[in-house]
Structure 1
Amino acid sequence: MNLSTRIAVSLISGLMVAVASPAFAKVPCGGDFGQFLEGVKQEAIASGLSARAANRALAGAQIDRKVLSRDRAQGVFKLDFLTFSKRAISSYRLKNGAANMQKWSRVFNRAEKDYGVPAPVITAFWALETDYGGFQGDFNTVNALATLSHDCRRPHLFRPQLIAAIEMVQHGDLDPRGTTGAWAGEIGQVQMLPADIIRFGVDGDHDGHINVKASSADAILTGAKFIQHLGWKRGEPWLQEVSVPANFPWETTGLDQRRNGSEWARMGVKARQGKIANVPAALILPQGRKGPIFLAYRNFDIYLEWNQSFVYTTTAAYLATRLGGAHVYDQGNPDPGLSDPQMKQLQKKLEDLGYDVGKIDGILGSGTRHAVQEMQKKLGMPADGWPTEELLARL
């Protein structure tokens, strides 16, 4: 998952730890690192963990300057959907995805039976996060979390995760010096934070431990339980490629506009494969009306909970449909998008006109898409939410 957005989404359980622990507010970030670790230890003990586990977890912990460098230099997600999805969905990932679904079929069957989440959905995350466990990150997890907790930018997000890591040490599920993962403290084959592993961890191989790094069974079932928690609706689709008439009312598209499948069908929307499900869905156009077109059903919301990047989530959802047997999308012939300077110029113009586009960052986020669509309506242009040079020129 994209770490910068994933952290904010997945810390609900971790924040509960912070709220429950009165010691949290008394131990500041920054300052002497040894004193800081002692404060963390006392907070862990106050929350019910053993002094032995805290000592073992924090002994030898160090500031990792590479973690701080990554945190300061997070890249922004500016690739368009066609570019990113073509890079991310390789023949290797499709072939190995199918092989893994077959290899772990019993575990996937259990995941769907117990949590309602189909194998292709879990497998797509597994593929995009770590290439099926092939690369899980090489940052020491305790050092990463201690570094980000000590740093005063976002200690309220990372400190609960450091306490959760101590709890994992107490359970025997984390080696404080040997466990590695992502720079922001995420661990395992589907990249989850310690507090989420504790809350949603499933011992899939029945060895008495939750080992999401080495055990694919643990990772699959833990991921499924977490996805269920995010609100997955059993038996419902998540994404479906469709076609629409040339004269379609484009102003009805976008994630904030949902209709039942039967209503979309009456408007001329047709599925490229199968039938349109008669449940609420939004018509989304990742690259405007001339590119691929999808119905995003309610389960698509779970992807946005997992990662807030529209391009990443649409790619993950589409990969899951491919793993489930869907055809390659019709990429169409979309109008060229804007360059980074042009996108920032467009955002500034829209902001000056009173639209809330968020930060002027060159990213086509939800605020910018909505503003573009509204401006297209005012100018009498097809309101598909896709920014073009024509729109910029008319502004």
Structure 2
Amino acid sequence: MRGMRTLASVLGLAATVAATPATAQQDNFKAWLDGVRAEAREQGIAKATLDKTLSGLSPIERVIELDRSQPEFIRTFWSYMDDRVTPGRVEKGRKLLDKHRELLNAVQREHGVQPRFLVAFWGMETGFGSYLGDFPVIGSVATLAHDDRRSAFFRTQLFHALEMVDEGHVEPGSFTGSWAGATGHLQFLPSTFTRHAVDADGDGRKDIWGDLHDVFASGANYLSDMGWEGDERWGREVRLPGDFPWKQAQLDVKKPLDTWAEMGVRKANGDPLPTPDGWQGSIVLPQGHEGPAFLVYENFRHILSWNRSIKYGVAVGHLADRIAGMPKLQTGRDADSGAVSFDEVERIQTLLNKLGHEAGPVDGVPGESTRAAIRRFQAANGYPADGYASPALLKQLEARIADRKG
């Protein structure tokens, strides 16, 4: 009996030890949440709201997993586009544009945003409202706020989400959205909602979940507040000359369209590039120098305020074009060189930093600082300086590190 009790005691101790990390994590989260609650009260959020939204909250592990594998960052351009600008989505977008044309035209008159772009955002974000997301928004943003990677940003989102509940726009039980806390037909982040959503029909509630007037007006108001140009395109596919200076292909480089034309940039079909007076643009290469090239204007930058991914920006713009009857993309289809994983991007960033190219934090996201570091490495080693994170780049970096060790 004594031996059995001893064995039981050992097993019990082992179970306790095994459970300790999870328990410690939950205790840490609870203590952190107490701080959130205190700060929210200081900001004027009602105690009843905090009791409804924060009681019993726990971190959502699936949210962290998804944060490390965002398709905008780890999928190739063509894979991403083929999933999002499909023939079915284009056709449905055209039908819905016609169905809601009167409402969309009214929104355009008030906010200056062309209907095809609102429909394109709608299609990209939720499949025209077919799936709004089923993650609890408060739980998701709290999880990301507690995580180290983007804690400051999502802590702010958490307070905005609490404000949405506190003002009566949404009940906690129905407050769902994406894993990152985006919600409604157009997937507004909480801060986007509190700053730009509108009550278009005057019923006292900004209903971006069920009222299309509020949905379209809120989306248009947001874009208008960002500076949307109602008489401009987002950009266009172009052909680049063989001697194009690849370092010029980045959003930070803006030139008048007639300058790009003088450098040999032409429309995708080979025709001369239109050069309206006063228009400026940048060249972007979402699949590197072997893939398609796009000349993008100011409205493209406003699309990026919705989602900072170049792939996302091109997909929204191209979907809007297709809904309006414009042709498919024409170049670069054979350039699908394979995707890099989150871990491989971290490896690329680590190696760039070791080589002195200052990629910034090792976070697995090939953002602006990483792309700039890639260009520096490529230029220094005789590669086309397109800033593209690819499997080939990783091999080049590893070879350079091996040469140093040798």
User: What range is the shorter-chain TM-score in?
Assistant: 0.7 to 0.9
Paired residues of 1:285 and 1:292 also in contact (CA < 8 A): yes
Matched, 1:75 2:68: yes
Alignment of 1:258-273 (within 5 A): 258-272=254-268
Which deviates the most, 361-370 or 322-331? Answer: 361-370
Letter in 1 for 2:303: Y
Alpha-carbon separation, structure 2, partners of 1:385 and 1:342: 15
Aligned partner (choices 49, 52, 63) of residue 57 of structure 2: 63
Correspondence for 1:179: 175
Alpha-carbon separation, structure 2, partners of 1:326 and 1:350: 40
SS in 1 for 2:185: coil
Matched, 1:243 2:239: yes
Correspondence for 1:275: 274
SS in 1 for 2:209: coil
Which deviates the most, 162-171 or 108-117? Answer: 162-171
Q: 1:354 to 1:348 in 2, by over 3 A?
A: same
Which deviates the most, 227-236 or 373-382? Answer: 373-382
Matched, 1:137 2:130: no
Superposed displacement of residue 322, structure 1: 2.4
Alignment of 1:334-349 (within 5 A): 334=335, 336-337=337-338, 340=341, 346-349=348-351
Paired residues of 1:281 and 1:298 also in contact (CA < 8 A): yes
Superposed displacement of residue 167, structure 1: 3.9
Paired residues of 2:66 and 2:179 also in contact (CA < 8 A): no
Alignment of 1:36-47 (within 5 A): 36=34, 40=37, 46-47=42-43
Superposed displacement of residue 169, structure 1: 3.6
Paired residues of 1:262 and 1:276 also in contact (CA < 8 A): yes
Matched, 1:309 2:302: no
Superposed displacement of residue 286, structure 1: 1.7
Matched, 1:207 2:203: yes
Q: Could you tell me the percent identity over the aligned residues? A: 31
Paired residues of 2:379 and 2:385 also in contact (CA < 8 A): yes
Higher RCO (Cα < 8 Å, 6 or more apart): 1
Q: 1:201 to 1:385 in 2, by over 3 A?
A: closer
Q: 1:30 to 1:121 in 2, by over 3 A?
A: same
Paired residues of 2:76 and 2:336 also in contact (CA < 8 A): no
Correspondence for 1:366: 368
- Larger-gyration structure (1/2): 2
Tell me which protein shows more helix as a share of its residues.
Answer: 2
Structure 1 residue runs without a partner (length 5+): 1-28
Which deviates the most, 262-271 or 247-256? Answer: 247-256
Deviation per residue, 1:296-347 (Å, 9 max, x gap): 1122212332222232233223323322333111232327357557766654
Alpha-carbon separation, structure 2, partners of 1:213 and 1:204: 13
Superposed displacement of residue 356, structure 1: 1.9
Alpha-carbon separation, structure 2, partners of 1:392 and 1:191: 38
Q: 1:205 to 1:104 in 2, by over 3 A?
A: farther
Correspondence for 1:18: none
Alpha-carbon separation, structure 1, partners of 2:304 and 2:212: 24
Letter in 2 for 1:62: G
Q: 1:89 to 1:378 in 2, by over 3 A?
A: same
Alpha-carbon separation, structure 1, partners of 2:247 and 2:144: 43
Superposed displacement of residue 291, structure 1: 1.8
Alpha-carbon separation, structure 1, partners of 2:282 and 2:41: 48
Correspondence for 1:389: 392
Superposed displacement of residue 362, structure 1: 6.0
Paired residues of 1:239 and 1:321 also in contact (CA < 8 A): no
Paired residues of 1:284 and 1:295 also in contact (CA < 8 A): yes
- The two structures have a TM-score, normalised by structure 2, of 0.76
Letter in 2 for 1:134: S
Superposed displacement of residue 214, structure 1: 0.9
Paired residues of 1:283 and 1:295 also in contact (CA < 8 A): yes
Deviation per residue, 1:39-70 (Å, 9 max, x gap): 73x65565455566556x44x843144x3441
Deviation per residue, 1:179-201 (Å, 9 max, x gap): 32223433201111334323222
Matched, 1:220 2:220: no
Letter in 1 for 2:64: D
Structure 2 residue runs without a partner (length 5+): 1-27, 401-406
Superposed displacement of residue 369, structure 1: 3.0
Superposed displacement of residue 252, structure 1: 2.3
- The two structures have a TM-score, normalised by structure 1, of 0.78
Superposed displacement of residue 73, structure 1: 5.1
Superposed displacement of residue 128, structure 1: 1.7
Aligned partner (choices 116, 120, 131) of residue 120 of structure 1: 116
* Count of equivalent residues: 361
Which deviates the most, 263-272 or 227-236? Answer: 227-236
Superposed displacement of residue 348, structure 1: 4.3
Correspondence for 1:330: 330
Alpha-carbon separation, structure 2, partners of 1:376 and 1:162: 40
Letter in 1 for 2:74: K
SS in 1 for 2:241: coil
Q: 1:176 to 1:347 in 2, by over 3 A?
A: closer
Superposed displacement of residue 165, structure 1: 3.9
Letter in 2 for 1:70: V
Letter in 1 for 2:291: G
Alpha-carbon separation, structure 1, partners of 2:301 and 2:173: 37
| Root mean square deviation, CA, Å | 3.4
Q: 1:216 to 1:264 in 2, by over 3 A?
A: same
Alpha-carbon separation, structure 2, partners of 1:152 and 1:382: 37
Superposed displacement of residue 136, structure 1: 1.0
